Amino acid sequence: MNGAGNRFGVFDARQCPDFTMTEKLAKSVAAKNGPMGAKGADQIIVMRPAKSEQADIFMEIWNQAGFEVDACGNASRCIPWLVMEETGKDKIVLETNAGLLHTERKGPNRVAVDMGKPKLDWDQIPLKEYMDTHVVDVKVGPIDDPVLSRPGAVNMGNPHCVFFVDDAEEIAADKIGPMIEFHPLFPEQANVGFAQIRGQDDIRLRVWERGAGLTLACGTGACAAVVAAHRQGRTGRKVRVEMDGGMIEIEWRESDDHVIKTGPVELEHEGELPV
């Protein structure tokens, strides 16, 4: 499947309680020119029975590097859509290691996800040391004349560092991304966003995902970019975010502080994989 171009290899293990995802299997399935085709997969998802009585489905998430992570915004649309198609329901509660997410059908192949409240305290990101997270002390280039500086830090179930750039197409995201992903300030590493503000309701975004590299889309990255942009007074609370794989809509609601993400899903193909 993919959500705005963000590609997933999805294992349905709801009837297979003994199935265990491993680092080796996740890497091999996600690899380019592997089972998922020439492009490979950005993440590997395992569907399991819900652990909570309030949830309909549990989503286990593994990245290309072969380790389990807590959140994936675009997969949080894809997996509920599968359950909606099976059950005919228009609302599904998705369970992840980061908590429960409420999702709703918004038309054919389109789903909205309530991503909850962003975590903004320094120890929630987490950062190595205390600082105000609306602007964190991370610079790229010479100290007195940095190429990039003053990013915002946001946790949307995973840590994000968002830089604001003049031109998202021109920035060397493939070189700067890994430098910031492993920056000492981020003990759990970080996803790195490069956001070009095109208007109060319009952002062009590229994201270097920790453990995956540059991807066509990143749902939690889009949420983080809007939260960080609004905190710095760059945009409003309702913003279209264009990524390489497509457009999604983000609203950081003032009424309850929740971030709502709405976007497309696509089922590319189905099959069986001997493991």
> At a CB cut-off of 8 Å and minimum separation 6, what does 255 contact?
none
Of these residues, 72, 78, 161, 223, which one is catalytic? 72
Structure tokens at 89: 């329901």
Question: 16 catalytic, yes or no?
Answer: no
Q: Are 122 and 131 in contact (CB under 8 A)?
A: yes
Q: Identify whether 161 is a catalytic site residue.
A: no
**Catalytic pick among 16, 78, 161, 218:** 218
Instruction: Indicate which residues carry an active-site annotation.
Output: 72, 218
